[in-house]
Amino acid sequence: MTDKPILDDTSRAPVSQRGYVIEKSGMDDAIGGKVTINIDGKDIKIPLGTTILEAARSLGIRIPTLCYHEDLCVAGVCRICVVEVEGQRTLQAACGYPVTAPITVKTHTRRVRQARRHILDLMLSKHYGECYACFRNNNCELQTLAKEYGVDFFRFGHPEKPLYAVDRSSPSVIRDMNKCILCRRCVRTCIDLQEVGVLEGHGRGADVEIQTFMNKPLGEVICINCGQCINRCPTGALRANDPTDEVWAAIDNPDKHVVIQTAPSPRAAIGENFGLEPGTALTFELNTALRRCGFDRVFDTNFSADLTIIEEGTELLLRLYKALVEKDASIALPQFTSCSPGWVKFLEHFYPEYVPNLSSAKSPQQMFGALIKTYYAELNKIDPKDIVTVALMPCSAKKFECNRPEMCDSGYKDVDYGLTTRELAQMISETGIFLPDMPRSDFDDPFGTATGSGVIFGATGGVMEAALRSVYELVSGERIENIFEHADIIPVRGFQGVKYVELTLDKIGPVPDLLKPLVPNWDWLKGATVKLGVAHGTANAKRVMDDIKAGGKFSECHFIEFMACPGGCLGGGGQPIPTSPSIREARAKAIYAEDSVYEIRKSHENPAVLKVYNEFLREGPCGHKSHKLLHTSYIERGKYIS
């Protein structure tokens, strides 16, 4: 396999499009040397162009910020980070002051403290609401700074009633502009980080508001429900649409059988809500806590992730067979992954002509829901109408996905409620549970067996790696470890925004029993070079899609993984706040560490998945029954099954 960088013209892009990592290496040569500055009596030598804020942080000196965020380009609009620069008449915004000559900086003089306090007082004069009734209580940057700067009364007054109606039109995101401080993080997130452009600043001066297009409700514009704006909002102006009251009602109803599936990304992050360092996995502690909360069964979404790999991988092989062997020109290639609902909605809005390229396979969340209300209901002799399926996901777009009208192939709503990591952490706290102290327990059968391939779905490149582990072995008859040590496919890992890889199939084996009804042999793949792509964040997805439209490198790919969120699911819009490149990296390490200790690390070797095919989906992957339950209507548009 070769790892070829492509589309790397990112020198002028904001930090959000440079693989989500702030890099300074090479700045000396590019800009021309270093300069020594003094901050609060401490000297530091820094590359020219480094901001005062970055220099101060490298010295361990804290300068407060509100509009600044590591993922976003500099705005300098809140002015909370103002500092004194010797010789300058006015205070300067540390986040937007690039150092080009020796300077002396003071970060906490009386003048600076007063300026910051006045700015906070002005923000609070328009900030309606009580902290105790806000979901960001004790995790609000404005609240934290108000306490830090001794705000104990409203110097410039305080709104007595809301100025704006709360927008609840979206299935995923709620907007309360009464709590907005005009930092524009949401605007920069939507425009720069995701390149969707739903939000913008409208008006001038004191009349500025953050609005959607023509100030329409969020549910009526092209929002993809990714929730990245929520993760970067410093206050409670943006939050997820929370169904916990309905989930509690189901748990408290003795006539309802309530089951929950948990995805790997929340398990690697939920500890942050209980004061643990990012990257502390609490997978098995969480199982115990969920049972104590009242859930009747706790299942592992990794099971249906393995199922997704089998269905999606089979679909890819069928598309290739029809295109290469049967010369069917109607086959849509490259095939796109379909497990990220934010990405699916992005494609539907901005590139609708490529919808047939989407895999028809449902996401693991939705596959699980369909099986629970059919296979599981039959096994346990439970009426499906009495089953309530809940999904713990890192993603606010999963709320939108489970409410899509086509997601009811079981005869019922396949997944009833989607919970974010933050929401479940709150439910656990309501029960008086301190999650890190819980004893460990396993998942419930028949969906308690999973593999390492299911785990790595949580990181960008994980779906591609899981697919390669299985597809390579199913086609070649050889172990993937012969090419990649410990089956770790490093070229598709990491936070580079866009990745391109190739894999040549030098050997082929017999068609395994699972796939014999679909293709006669693999002779047509011998010597073929499979071309693959990976992109995370819809800004990077846009780069790949535009390249495909232009007939570029990615138009030659056979399979491309797209994830709507930075870093993949581990950076989802429902994950703990705050987020940053280092936090997402820590979560990824936890996910790969969990993958490495699994005894079974390939989806096609999952005995629980094979049992489902033997007992329930007897026609095998992409058979009639699996199409009905595990795939979407896109299959008709793709026209790739005879």
54, 312, 561, 585: which is the annotated catalytic residue?
312
| In contact, 367 and 304? CB cutoff 8 Å | yes
| In contact, 421 and 574? CB cutoff 8 Å | yes
172, 569, 585, 622: which is the annotated catalytic residue?
569
Closest CA relative to residue 573, chosen from 129, 196, 128 = 196
User: SS3 breakdown of the chain: % helix, strand, coil, rounded to 5?
Assistant: 45, 15, 45
Known catalytic residue at 131: no
172, 340, 359, 396: which is the annotated catalytic residue?
359
Known catalytic residue at 406: yes
Strand pairing category for 34-39 and 104-106: parallel
Residue 603 buriedness (CB in 10 A; 0-12 / 13-18 / 19+): buried
CB atoms within 10 A of CB 455: 33
272, 285, 401, 473: which is the annotated catalytic residue?
401
Known catalytic residue at 359: yes
**Cross-strand partners of 570:** none
Phi-psi domain of 546 (left: phi exceeds 0; alpha: psi -120 through 50; beta: other): alpha
Known catalytic residue at 315: yes
Tokens of 512: 């395994």
Tokens of 597: 């200790």
**Cross-strand partners of 82:** 93
Known catalytic residue at 557: no
φ/ψ (deg, to 5) at 536 = -130, 140
Known catalytic residue at 140: no
Beta strand extents in 402-558 (DSSP E only): 417-419, 498-504, 529-536
How far, in Å, CA of 593 to CA of 588, rounded?
8
CB atoms within 10 A of CB 296: 16
Output DSSP code: residue 245: H
293, 339, 402, 557: which is the annotated catalytic residue?
339
Known catalytic residue at 398: yes
398, 399, 499, 542: which is the annotated catalytic residue?
398
406, 430, 615, 619: which is the annotated catalytic residue?
406
54, 315, 465, 561: which is the annotated catalytic residue?
315
Known catalytic residue at 348: no
DSSP labels, 362-381: PPHHHHHHHHIIIIIHHHHT
Catalytic residues: 312, 315, 339, 359, 398, 401, 406, 569
